[in-house]
Structure 1
Amino acid sequence: MLLWPLLLLLLLLLLPTLALLRQRWSQDAKLSWLAGLQHRVAWGALGWAATWQQRKLEQSTLHMYQSQQRALRWCLQGAQRPHCPLRGSTDISTFRNHLPLTKASETQEEESGEQLPSPTSHQDLGEAPLQADGEELAGAIAAGNPGAPLPERAAELREALEQGPRGLALRLWPKLQVVVTLDAGGQAEAVAALRALWCQGLAFFSPAYAASGGVLGLNLQPEQPHGLYLLPPGPLFIELLPVKEGTQEEAASTLLLAEAQQGKEYELVLTDRASLTRCRLGDVVQMVGAHNQCPVVRFICRLSQTLSVRGEDVGEDLFSEALGRAVGQWPGAKLLDHGCVESSILDSAVGSAPHYEVFVELRGLRNLSEENRDKLDHCLQEASPRYKSLRFWGSVGPARVHLVGQGAFRALRSALAACPSSPFPPAMPRVLRHRHLAQCLQQRVVS
Structure 2
Amino acid sequence: MLDGRPLIDAHVHAARLPTLRPAWRRWAEEFGSSHPWQDLYDEDGALVPERVDAYFEGEGVDVALLLCEYSPRTTGTQPIEDLRPLLEHNPRRFKPIANVNPHLHYPVGAEVERQLGLGAVALKLHPVHGGFSVADPELYPAYQVCRDAGVPVVVHCGTSSFPGSVNRYADPAAVDDVLRLFPGLTFVLAHGGRGWWYDAAAFLALSREEVWIELSGLPPRRLPEYYARHDLKRLARKFVFGTDWPGVPGIARNARAIAALGLDEETLALVLAGNALQVYKGLTVPTQIREDRRMTDAGPFTDDVVRQIARHMNEDHAADCLTICRALGGRPGATAARMTGLDAVGIEFAVADGGVEHPVRIPFGERLTERPQVRREVVRMTERARAALGGGPDVPDGP
For normalisation by structure 1, the TM-score amounts to 0.24
